[in-house]
Structure 1
């Protein structure tokens, strides 16, 4: 088969991913587009539109996620696509429970401010995507995971980030629902006990992307000064 017709199990391979005997150079415009996606990415909660996501667009962002780096090339992720309103409702109910528990951990005015924040778009987004980690996928001994066994979980988080940036490049919004107990996802999505749910993502087109992260705009926390986070050679030797 010619390179023009090459395919993978995940669907058509984008032209820039096809293996050819040449050095792949990134042009300035391509570089700028990557940084634009990074700085324009937002955690979307309340701006989802009901418009369906075309299958080919969904396939592209899943292919991007599947090309994330993984320790030992174990590719521990799976992707559960959620469209059924009844399944979404169960996850939403789980969020509400965890949300109430979280509110009780804050005190005074901060508790009320927390309750007023919109922190998910489970029912509003047309598609939910649960990214999981199969920690036994390639056996008990994995290159690169021998000293730090949690590296497979970190690999799955890389898949989350790849999907998020690809979605932003497709003008799709993504919201990570972290305020939900794992057992809720296990039960609602039929996830086997040995599989770890890493992220439940709300995905869809949106009415607007905010200029700044919502928690920053709301004054919940400021963006830290990068200069205070850089160390040279040893901890505490920053600028």
Structure 2
């Protein structure tokens, strides 16, 4: 282990050996990443036990955050009256969104199911408190939006933990952030980053649903990686 004896304020025993996971553990991590899907209409009515929900929230809370500001909060929503009010907002915004596409694309858009707010047994709104950590936060001094980016890491952690639990998650984003403020009684510095529909699912798409429905397709990674500068593509190693 590296000698960190000169570190300031580092208590004894704070470091542990680093090393790769076992092959099975590593495969499980990659499987969760590769098979995670955004779920819309495949929710089962089975309730998510509080013990499982607590594990998902714990995973989200272990996300990295710049300056350890941990700007997230989690609002758990089961009440159907509240969820219907949010669904009504999303439906109104959805109509606005459909009008932004040309005729063929608009028709395809309207056939997509883009939310499961009342279908899922549970909703979670993950917020970002933009005052968390005070006026000056280590690492945020020149990039203010690192609090939002940190909260997005918590969202991804929850997605991956849910996949490992056999639970589906759908991210609803068709609303203006201020639309939710009066319903959820959010203080001024707090903004909703992700509104999630959460529940057990019977099946998942083999590939992203929007790809399966030919709305879009996954880009080739080889076209997205550069070395040293934008004009120098990175050469991927030969397979095998």
In 1, distance between residues paired with 2:78 and 2:93?
22
Aligned to 2:22: 27
TM-score (normalised: structure 1):
0.90
Q: Do structure 1's residue 75 and structure 2's residue 107 form an aligned pair?
A: no
Q: Deviations over 1:50-105 (max 9, x none)?
A: 10001110000100000000000010000000000000001100100110000000
Indicate the SS of the match to 1:237. Answer: strand
Correspondence 1:199-218 to 2 at 5 A: 199-218=194-213
Contact 1:77/1:156, CA 8 A, preserved across alignment: yes
TM-score (normalised: structure 2):
0.89
In 2, distance between residues paired with 1:151 and 1:182?
18
Q: Mean alpha-carbon deviation: is it higher for 176-185 or for 142-151? A: 176-185
Aligned to 1:122: 117
Contact 1:94/1:181, CA 8 A, preserved across alignment: no
- Give the number of the structure whose alpha-carbon radius of gyration is greater: 2
Please, which runs of 5 or more residues in structure 1 have no aligned partner? 1-18
Aligned to 2:93: 98
Q: Deviations over 1:136-173 (max 9, x none)?
A: 11111000000111101100000000000000000000
Offset at residue 22 of structure 1 (A):
3.8
Over the aligned positions, Cα root-mean-square deviation in angstroms equals: 1.2
In 2, distance between residues paired with 1:170 and 1:185?
28
The structure-2 alpha-carbon separation of the partners of 1:88 and 1:210, relative to structure 1 and needing over 3 Å to count, comes to: same
Offset at residue 190 of structure 1 (A):
1.2
List, as ranges, runs of 4+ consecutive aligned residues in structure 1 with deviation greater than 3 Å: 19-22
- Select 1:144's aligned residue among 127, 139, 154: 139
Aligned to 1:164: 159
Aligned to 2:8: none
Offset at residue 236 of structure 1 (A):
2.2
Please, which runs of 5 or more residues in structure 2 have no aligned partner? 1-12, 236-240
In 2, distance between residues paired with 1:50 and 1:158?
28
